């Protein structure tokens, strides 16, 4: 399957959604989401805050660069969680918005795959 095929992009998007579901809704309970989110914020609320501000300004490339600067230096669970939230929020943008901000769904999928690989997740069930 080619990296540039629509099938690849759809598969990566599904994987991101599935991982988000597994991470945030381990037992499909709202309490689990709150507990995980609080733990993630305690892990690195500074990074998550920076990424959120950059997303709100449409600076997606800068946000991704900042994420990997921090994650490469410290591939902790808190930084991974901040990255998952970052990519999950980006999934909410339309193709037009992504294009306007010089970003694409393919870049989003590749970045998420790189984040997972850096955290030791090779395959998402």
Give the mean pLDDT of the chain.
Answer: 76
Residue 9 lies in a domain: no
CB 114 within 8 A of CB 65: no
C-alpha–C-alpha distance, residues 63 and 86, integer Å? 8
Residue 61: per-residue pLDDT: 96
- Report which of 93, 96, 123, 100 is spatially closest to residue 14, judged by C-alpha positions: 123
Give 64's pLDDT tier (boundaries 50, 70, 90). very high
Residues with Cβ within 8 Å of 87's Cβ and at least 6 positions away in sequence, in order, are 16, 108, 111, 112, 115
Residue 67: per-residue pLDDT: 96
Range of the domain at 72: 29-118
C-alpha–C-alpha distance, residues 34 and 55, integer Å? 22
C-alpha–C-alpha distance, residues 40 and 17, integer Å? 18
Residue 14 has pLDDT above 50, yes or no: yes
Split into its structural domains, the chain has a count of 1
pTM of the model: 0.67
Residue 80: per-residue pLDDT: 85
* Percentage of the residues of the chain whose pLDDT score is greater than 90: 26
């Amino acid at each position: 399957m080619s990296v540039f095929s629509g099938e690849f992009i759809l598969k990566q998007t599904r994987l991101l959604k599935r991982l988000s579901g597994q991470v945030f809704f381990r037992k499909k309970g709202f309490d689990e989401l709150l507990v995980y989110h609080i733990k993630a914020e305690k892990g690195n609320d500074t990074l998550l805050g920076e990424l959120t501000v950059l997303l709100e300004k449409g600076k997606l490339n800068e946000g991704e660069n900042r994420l990997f600067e921090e994650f490469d230096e410290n591939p902790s669970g808190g930084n991974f969680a901040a990255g998952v939230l970052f990519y999950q929020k980006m999934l909410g943008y339309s193709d037009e918005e992504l294009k306007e901000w010089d970003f694409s769904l393919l870049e989003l999928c590749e970045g998420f795959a790189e984040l997972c690989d850096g955290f030791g997740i090779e395959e998402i069930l």
